[in-house]
A and B are shown apart, each in its own frame.
Chain A
Amino acid sequence: MSGTGETTWVPRKRRGAELVLTVMAVGLAIFAYCAVGLGAEGRVPAGAVGLAVTLVVVAVAANLLIRRFAPYADPVLLPLVLCLNGLGLAMIYRIDLGMEARRDSWTSLAPNQLMWTGIGVAAFATVLLVVRDHRRLQTLTYSFGLAAVVLLILPLLPGIGQNIRGARIWINLGPFSFQPGEAAKICLAIFFAGYLAEKREALALAGRRVLGVDLPRARDLGPIMIGWLVSIGILVLQRDLGSSLLFFGLFVVLLFIATERAGWIVVGGGLFALGTWFGYLQFSHVRRRFEAWQDPFGDPDQNGQIINALYGLAHGGLLGRGWGQGSPELTPIGYSDFIATSLGEELGLTGLMAILLIYGLIVERGLRIALTCRDAFGKLLAAGLAISMAIQVFVVVGGVTHLIPLTGLTTPFLSQGGSSIVMNWAIIAILLRISDQTRRPAPPVQPVSEDEATQVVKL
């Protein structure tokens, strides 16, 4: 520590590097799209030019936007996300082709997904433009908490709520159906981060020490109990295992970060086990998922989904069948929850590993932003968003590849579905905003003479 301020690290903006990576990501997506057409139908798809133009415009616009409004933001996140989004588009188009070949009528999903990608990038731009400093969000902590609760309750309301595949997590607004849970995820992350940044000292007070782990005091358990009850409520009322797990996991993890006390993880893990056990005993759909995981081949008719997903992965093998040359359309909802296995089938283990690595890098960049962020709220928010992404990817990819029981969650950026795409783009905007704040050089500090004098004494 020289204390002179001369060696202060000045981050480079790296916007040029970002542009190069972005071009590569977009190129990969366009290549994938063309390869799908060539593999499945033997010709370059008609919409290739339109898609290429759209993606290039979107990418360049996003880059310019970041240059102007978040010049110090992390340069890797945008290319990573664009790459995933593009691969998802190509796979959804591929499944459109497969379904058209097999069914008499099939409504193409890819054009819709492309539109939602556009809306997603618009949402990304809006967040970057509106939220000029992430700390402003902290002032709205409780508003976001309320918003989250409203969003979570919406699907339960008669009239607009909708039951799809057994889960009541959709709302119908005119021509659009929307999963408010995706938006609630962001609201909850902001609420948890704001709440914990404020209350962390109180919660960090030592309680009893059992087996080397500091357990919190009973009266401090209030918030975690509320978080737990909310997640159980989601499980019971909306029958949505995945979101329940995601929200509770997010809350426990943020408690742990805020208080630096592993006891919360222990308590949270215990409550999670209790909730799972309760769910297993009470709900046939939870039990069925668990049994399907234990022995999928025991009831092939009931578990056709996961069996087909496994067949697809096995058929892909190490190198995959190639774009357009597998049969991912055989797996039910292979364009949404099961898109990871569709990609595993056509791109092989190699491709699936690459996709997992991209997710890993997104999470890593998010956590890096959390580590370097200077304020507690930003730290908690960035870490929360990054870890919720990790949990979500683990739960959904682990579910469809038979690592853990199947739960319904979307695969960020890949899955077909408007709300998921839009909200995940918004998450990336928030992360970029925090990282811009973090990496921006600190304003020059006037040297204070008293400090210099004090140091002389120390000599």
Chain B
Amino acid sequence: MNTPIRRLAVACLVLFLALMGNATYVQFIDADNLNAEPNNKRVIDDEYSRERGAILVDGEPVAHSVRSDDQFEFLRTYPEGALFAHLTGYFSYTYGRSAVENSENPILSGSDNRLFVNRVVDLVANKQPKGGSVELTIDRSAQTTAAAALAALPSGTKGSVVALDPQTGEILAMVSQPSYDPNALASHDFGAVTQAWTALNDDPAKPLLNRSTQEILPPGSTFKLVTASAALEQLNLTPASVVQGGSELSFPGIEYTLPNAGGGNCGGDQISLEQALNVSCNVSFGSLATQVGQGALEEQAAKFGFGDKLIEGIASNASRFTTEGTELEAPQLAQSGIGQFEVAATPLQMAMVAAGIANDGVVMKPHLVQTVRDPSLRILDDAGDGEEYGRALSPEHAAMMQQMMISTVEGGTASSARIPGQTVGGKTGTAQRGGDLPNLAWFASFAGSGENQVAVAVVVESATATDDISGGRLAGPIAKAVMEALLSS
């Protein structure tokens, strides 16, 4: 009977080896994946007992951990409340993390592999490991100015401002109204957190939504910048080229006609391209869109970033020229050329269009995090001068676009953005939305020269339809204020 016993001993060995192999898999090989599961209370508890690194703007914390004497050692605190909420995101025990709190979590919590040596040193010194810090690209004065300008609009108005450095892609300001107070979600009073969370999610104004990157809206006439760029690139036009003007654009064999906003005739049946942009002539750009064609226009939009998620680390949606697979008929193509029909863009996207033009045709990839530091402030990662997204225009055509946008501010529809002593280029947009929704007021612009350049996009969603909703009147002054704040700092 000894032979079977010996064989069974080997079988038992196999069983134990299987247990050990499996334990090794779970505790060593698969451990990182399991620890990264969002509902893993152990890891969250752990993070709550550690001093989480700060998120900084201009060297001042906009999110930091302060000592707390309740069930956890530290409380995540956002000194500015709602001002930076969509950028820092929230850090909640119950509802997890969002935005930079989430995307930079390994650094902030101190679990990043680059902080391994720090952790070992802390372990030996018997100190609690600390997280590293993250410095944002945001300019505090621009952010404050943008938020204040949006807040000054009639109550219930929603809107968003995005400011970019055209040469680096740094996000200098990003405001979405309405916002929320992340302190309410980071609280250790879980009952109150649940209430706050429910209230935020039930709010029809969607305060948790970052309108700058998540909400795509018809860009209206600001999209004419894309159509004009395509016309320059594809049709070899110049600002002086003659394009079709008049009061309406008709299509052979179809009853529909595309009119100008307000019923004007753009100053004649034959006008220059520059004139068309200055007066935001629907007829001219509808006609140009049909000449350029769907494919080339879509391609031009894609060069500015349409169809891509433009930013990493915060929630974002891609802007679109058409929905997937739509074949545009001529009238629809003309409507698309003036930023209507299915065209929908985020404010970030329209800021990138303005920035690409300002940066001589080169579109930079937008980024929000400038530097990442370890707890001893040694730099681990620096976004530096940014990363190129791609070239949207040749330098010559970019210069033409700049010139046309500048003249639009100096003598055209975008005059509300004029800043004395500064070169400012801009384009307004007043986009129609379906149903009874009030029109959207858009503004896309750039200002400054040389190294000191900024690009800003603004969208304002009024709560009620009034006669004075237009990009020039509502959005232009906000863009101007933000650009002034940026150029003076």
Contact = CB atoms under 8 A, between A and B. Distances in A.
Contacts of A275: none
* Most chain A CB neighbours (cut-off 10 Å) among B23, B41, B46: B23
B68 interface: no
A253 B8 contact: yes
Contact of A367 (B8, B22, B37): B8
A398 B15 CA distance: 9
Interface in A389-405: 390-391, 393-394, 397-398, 401-403
B199 to A, nearest CB: 25
A74 B255 CA distance: 102
Contacts, number: 120
Interface stretch (B26-34, B162-170, B223-231, B422-430): B26-34
B22 A353 contact: no
B72 to A, nearest CB: 13
Contacts of B18: 394, 398, 403
A359 B12 CA distance: 11
A309 to B, nearest CB: 9
Interface in B1-17: 1-6, 8-9, 12-13, 15-16
Interface stretch (A132-140, A238-246, A313-321, A421-429): A313-321
Contact of B39 (A300, A356, A370): A300
B12 A387 contact: yes
Contacts of B46: 315
Contact of A371 (B6, B35, B37, B45): B6
A376 interface: yes
B27 A344 contact: yes
Interface in A117-133: none
Contacts of A394: 15-16, 18-19
Contacts of B120: none
Contacts of B26: 310, 313-314, 401-402
B24 interface: yes
Interface in B190-243: none
Nearest to A312: B42
B218 to A, nearest CB: 39
B1 A258 contact: yes
A317 B31 CA distance: 7
Given A360-B16, A393-B19, 8 more contacts: A311-B37, A314-B32, A327-B41, A363-B16, A367-B8, A390-B12, A390-B15, A390-B16
Nearest to A372: B2
14 contacts: A310-B26, A311-B42, A313-B31, A317-B27, A327-B42, A363-B12, A364-B12, A370-B5, A371-B5, A379-B1, A383-B8, A393-B16, A398-B19, A401-B23
A363 B6 CA distance: 12
A34 interface: no
A326 interface: yes
A317 B46 CA distance: 14
Interface in A314-367: 314-318, 326-327, 330, 344-345, 348-349, 352-353, 356, 359-360, 363-364, 367
B5 A367 contact: yes
A349 B5 contact: no
A299 interface: no
A220 interface: no
B464 interface: no
A234 interface: no
A313 B35 CA distance: 10
Given A257-B1, A353-B20, A367-B9, A318 B15 contact: no
B273 to A, nearest CB: 57
B437 interface: no
B43 interface: yes
Interface residues of B, number: 35
A454 to B, nearest CB: 28
Interface residues on A, range: 35 or more
Nearest to A320: B27
A314 B23 contact: no
A3 to B, nearest CB: 22
Q: Which 3 A-B pairs have the closest CB atoms?
A: A314-B34, A314-B31, A403-B22
Nearest to B36: A314
Nearest to B15: A394
A215 B359 CA distance: 84
Contacts of B452: none
* Most chain B CB neighbours (cut-off 10 Å) among A330, A386, A401: A401
A256 interface: yes
Given A398-B22, A401-B23, A356 B16 contact: yes
Given A315-B35, A317-B31, A257 B5 contact: yes
Given A257-B5, A330-B41, A370-B5, A349 B23 contact: yes
Nearest to B35: A314
Contacts of A330: 41-42
B40 interface: yes
A100 interface: no
Given A353-B20, A356-B19, A371-B2, A310 B12 contact: no
A327 B20 contact: no
Contacts of A349: 23-24, 27-28
A387 B23 contact: no
A383 B37 CA distance: 43
A114 B16 CA distance: 28
A41 interface: no
B40 A311 contact: yes
A316 B37 contact: no
Contacts of B37: 297, 311
A194 B45 CA distance: 55
Contact of B20 (A310, A345, A356, A402): A356
A397 to B, nearest CB: 5
B8 A316 contact: no
* Most chain A CB neighbours (cut-off 10 Å) among B5, B32, B34: B5
B71 to A, nearest CB: 9
Nearest to B24: A349
A260 interface: yes
B180 to A, nearest CB: 27
